[in-house]
Structure 1
Amino acid sequence: MPGLLSQVEQLLAPARQILTPVLSDPTVLVAWAAVVAVALGVLWWDIRARNEAIPSLMKFVWTLVVLYSGPFGLAIYWYSGRTQISGDSLWRRGLRSTAHCYSGCGAGEVVGFVLLAGVLALDSSLVVTAGTFGFAYLFGYALTVGPLMQEGVGFGEAMFDALYSETPSITVMEVTAIGTDLLLAGEATITEPLFWGALIFSLSVGYLAAFPVNVLLVEFGVKEGMKNPAEMGS
């Protein structure tokens, strides 16, 4: 396994050489924060002016998606999450399903890295990786189990449903996202711009990796892909 990881690291070394200077630049981070703030403003203006019919849970989901991925997240919402979409499709359902998973897992990843690698400054990459995975699964499952229990489903049944439907997506998302973060900023501390730049970048990489998995899960009926927002608007 160490040999395989070393080979992967060597294979991705050119990408790291290109990305690291960009993600380490404080000016880039400040500019990105401004872009994200604008994207969040557009999201909430659209929700309040045109899409109040969207359930509170999805408003929360889309807020986190745009917070993590800025205009990329806003584009996903615009294409798949508004009541004004021209028609639903497998791709839109897959995007919404991935967004739902992304919102919880992303929060877990941020909490894990900031707490373990940042605040506690743990030196063991194994502990940081395992702990961040744990937070990601916990937050991801909670975002599925909680709403199901609110609908009257028992905890055991809700947990089984979450394990069955969310585990493939969470696993692919977090292997990719955490692996990307460690590759780019494995030695960075919380006071370094690279720590935050790599964390932000890794979140979107995780979304892209999990999207085809969610499309397949929706296609084969393992996941429903979230309700068609166009039906709520009507």
Structure 2
Amino acid sequence: MSSMAASATLHCLTGCSIGELAGLIWATAAGWGNTASTIMAIVLSFVFGYTLSATPLLRARVPARTAFKLVLAADTVSIATMEIVDNLVMWVVPGAMNAGLVDTLFWASMTLSLIIAYAAAFPVNKVLLARGKGHAITHHATGGGPMDNRPLAYAISAFLLGGLIASLGAWI
């Protein structure tokens, strides 16, 4: 149960990370303020999170309408938990919301916020799975095959590390 919860949480973290980073990059490039940036990041986190979950369902030939309903039921609580925690951390860390994309503070805060969000969403996913809810719904709908989320974890880590290194390079 714990390994499935870890896998489900990592899957959720991937969609949230992509959405958070894309939203913040987009909002920064557009010159938006912190509230608009946060809203954009949250919206894109749900979009990417749902998309990542729907893709295997659609590949398994689950009808799109059914896949959408399954994904809403399976991922909404996990994504919402992750987004609340992630954005709360970013707002609480002094200066994080005003840090630019080439600031080390931004990348360090984003990394910290995603780690804490994972820790918060893991028990949520564990409880959902124990009740036959959450990611178990989509896992069952695709035939129950194992999910190898290591490539997702590597990609998130590489992107965050790349941003951190680029921000450190701005100091040189």
* Aligned-residue identity in percent: 29
2:23–2:37 contact (8 Å) kept in structure 1? yes
Partner Cα separation in structure 2 for residue 198 and residue 122 of structure 1: 19
How many pairs were matched up? 138
Partner Cα separation in structure 2 for residue 209 and residue 182 of structure 1: 17
Quote the offset at 1:182 in angstroms: 2.2
Partner Cα separation in structure 2 for residue 135 and residue 158 of structure 1: 19
- 1:140-164 per-residue CA deviation (whole Å, 9 max, x = no partner) reads 0001111101111111110110110
Q: Name 1:179's counterpart in structure 2.
A: 88
- 1:169-201 per-residue CA deviation (whole Å, 9 max, x = no partner) reads 000001101111122212212232111111121
Partner Cα separation in structure 2 for residue 94 and residue 216 of structure 1: 9
2:74–2:136 contact (8 Å) kept in structure 1? no
1:119–1:190 contact (8 Å) kept in structure 2? no
Q: Name 1:206's counterpart in structure 2.
A: 117
| TM-score, scaled to structure 1 | 0.56
2:51 matches 1:139: no
Partner Cα separation in structure 2 for residue 228 and residue 195 of structure 1: 37
2:83 matches 1:153: no
The alignment's C-alpha RMSD in Å is 1.6
> What is the letter of the counterpart of residue 117 of structure 2?
G
> What is the letter of the counterpart of residue 62 of structure 2?
V
Alignment of 1:217-228 (within 5 A): 217-222=128-133, 223-224=135-136, 227=144
Partner Cα separation in structure 2 for residue 228 and residue 149 of structure 1: 15
- 1:86-110 per-residue CA deviation (whole Å, 9 max, x = no partner) reads xxxx111111111111111111111
| TM-score, scaled to structure 2 | 0.75
Q: Secondary structure at the match of 2:80?
A: helix
Give 5+ residue unaligned stretches, structure 1. Answer: 1-89, 230-234
1:121–1:189 contact (8 Å) kept in structure 2? no
> What is the letter of the counterpart of residue 37 of structure 2?
V
Quote the offset at 1:128 in angstroms: 1.1
Q: Name 1:122's counterpart in structure 2.
A: 32
Q: Name 1:29's counterpart in structure 2.
A: none
Quote the offset at 1:228 in angstroms: 6.9
Partner Cα separation in structure 1 for residue 65 and residue 45 of structure 2: 20
Q: Which residue among 92, 96, 115 is the counterpart of 2:3?
A: 92
Larger radius of gyration: 1
1:149–1:158 contact (8 Å) kept in structure 2? yes
> What is the letter of the counterpart of residue 193 of structure 1?
T
